[in-house]
Chain A
């Protein structure tokens, strides 16, 4: 397991667990900072070339549609395969927005990191 430098405060931590990239996102994500999250996450994916991306959203209490668009772009970068990207520890508002968007089925949604890394 190796800790990674993220280059943004929006990623509280990032590490490789075997070939899987595990990142913890923090803060409210809206149109103002979603481009920063996008860039940081894409950079990590491009460098690490993980087999799976696990995003821990326990410290994200709010997301808007621009943040959802970033998640979808990351899924596309991971090959559009549901099993290649997991969202964990969803807070109610984030979970609700995914349901409104009817995107809760295109991502793997796991209870926590351990569940996503099984």
Chain B
């Protein structure tokens, strides 16, 4: 972290036994590697295959929303991710220093007609596949917390949006 409190625009990661943390640039080229790293970490934390798939997809969509909306497509801006098991849940916290606009305030709750609008399907994935989705404005950006049970039957994973 820099003295300003923002992570430096680098690709540093650290995976302890129970916590994964990484600081990346707002670069779409990083999406696949970060998704795969977190899917692998989630599996090592005891998440089942369905959970790992959901976690990877939702992380991908959340990162894409940060790049597309919070940073308006600009690269080289910081994003900090921490993830890990907390009891029987797998929790991800995504911090950005962008516009601070809560996507849910713009489009809440996700509706069927939003499926084909930019960002609409991503938000729907978050709400259908995560058991917790919480946006918390930070004054200089946004903190998104997403959580999901580590193990569940497929039917349990597809939580309907409310």
Contact = CB atoms under 8 A, between A and B. Distances in A.
Interface of A: 28, 30-32, 62, 64-66, 68-69, 72, 93, 96-97, 100-103
Interface stretch (B3-11, B57-65, B101-109): B57-65
A69 B118 CA distance: 8
Nearest to A99: B158
B110 to A, nearest CB: 11
Contacts of A28: 32
Interface residues of B, number: 26
Q: Per DSSP, are chain B's interface residues mostly helix, strand or loop, or mixed?
A: helix
A64 B57 contact: yes
B115 interface: yes
Contacts of B29: 32
From B29, B35, B57, B124, residue with most partner A Cβ within 10 Å: B57
Interface of B: 28-29, 31-32, 35, 53, 56-57, 60-61, 64, 67-68, 112, 115-116, 118-122, 124-125, 128-129, 158
Given A31-B67, A32-B32, A93-B53, A102 B125 contact: no
B53 A65 contact: no
A31 B121 contact: no
